[in-house]
Structure 1
Amino acid sequence: MTESTLSLVPFKGQVIEAQKDGESVRVALKPVCENLGLDVNGQIQRLKRQPWAVTCVIHATGSDGKTYEMVALDRRTFTMWLATIDTSRVKSQAARDLIVAYQQEAADALDAYFSTGVAVNEHLLKAQHLRRLEQVELLKAVEGLVHPDFLEAKTRIVIAREMGETPELDPKTRPLYVQDYLREKGLGRTGLKRHAGPFGKDLKKLYVKEHGRDPQRADITTGSGQIRKVNAYTEADRPLFDRVWADRFDGSYQLTA
């Protein structure tokens, strides 16, 4: 019997609870059965009838500090057990899809986690890759409509993320957003909701006064995944941000119409 803290391996919005002991990985059976909607006692009895099945009892320390006994499968048995689950007998399509995902990917996720400390979701990586390609195409499409410094900086950021690198940007061309600037100044959610709109209007007025034209526009993706148009400022415009901040919050600069 083995006693240690279980590792929680992320998988498909769930977790696989497992331990590593030397070169062996043992997977707690009950949590996986609960994830898949299977009766754990029935699965234990089924495993006892299989000549290839190797089970053991592990003593695991839970998050509450207590020690629990769990039936566990070694890595080979876990893979074989998943492969022998008959999805045609499962009524729910969602449950069938999840079981297939476990059959195809769970063992790889365990290997990745215990060899690198990270379980990589290949489907998510592909989705991120496609999304970045779409962003590059969008940036190319708005060429001539968006300030070239802002456009170049955004393109460098997208490409660097795709390559897993830190973007090399001229500090003056780095995009600067009103909400980010106000967060730097210590405004929380309530303060942002109250002041971001008026701050942005005053900033636009000052920009027009300094440059004789409206700031160009750019698309940004919000935290909820929506695309919203904003004025395309860069770090080169920070002095204008500072002047508006001083006017609205310090009273040391008076913005004229």
Structure 2
Amino acid sequence: MNLSFESQKIKHKQKLELNKTAFDFALVFISEGTLVSKGNNLKFSKENLLFLNKDFETLETKKDTTAFVLYFSNSYFKDLHFIQQNFRLSHNPIDIFNSKTLLNKSLSLKKENKKLIERVISLIQQYEREDTAESIFIFHQIMSLFALVENILKDLELPINESYEMSQEIEQYIQQNIYFPDKLQIRSIADQFQISANYFGAFFKKRYSKSYKVYIDDIRIKLVEERLASNRYTMKQIVEELGFNDESHLTNFYKKKRNITPSSYKRTKNSA
């Protein structure tokens, strides 16, 4: 039989290797101890939830660790979709397992949420009927878990999906407003795209492999150097165009990034 759902309890010295099972996803609740992913040196602590797909590294349990694992195949959520609408979920659970927001991260739980999850998992663990994979009762319990997860993500202002389109829109916004520093403040840009400032910072660093500040500074440095090399701009004009407070502000900014002054850069270009 090709099972679409299964539960497991793992303890010390056991490994969790989803890619060696017949399942596509695993929801993990760490009751005690720590799970470690040696491949990318990540640690996940107790009272956290993990959402694993086939791309996730093997997890190992550390001393005195207990974790509850619910395994799913794609078909589990498709076969019972006719009752899923009763839960009014914004996303199919498959979207959550594949979410880049949750990639290589665990979801920390508040006390009240932890108790609810422990209660649901306990019910599932005690349910030992042969037709567990087809049980409507079990499916209701699992959907209640994902409804809770959606509420947690909403409270944290973390979107489940990170769109490529949003990256393009952010890049366009930056290019259009690079001459207006006030519009490039994290709070301003987060408000513009209706996301939290904390999430925007994390999203940007993961997407571009550098912080938002470094990204903006790199663009401004490039613009300053283009104008210095052209010999058509005075320092005062560069200050006014790029929104620096004064020439001293521009000099200090440039020297901090390049370890030379703007005038030294300009002389180097002129002598080349």
TM-score by length of 2: 0.25
Bigger relative contact order, structure 1 or 2, given CA contacts below 8 A and separation 6+?
2
TM-score by length of 1: 0.26
Q: Which has the larger radius of gyration?
A: 1
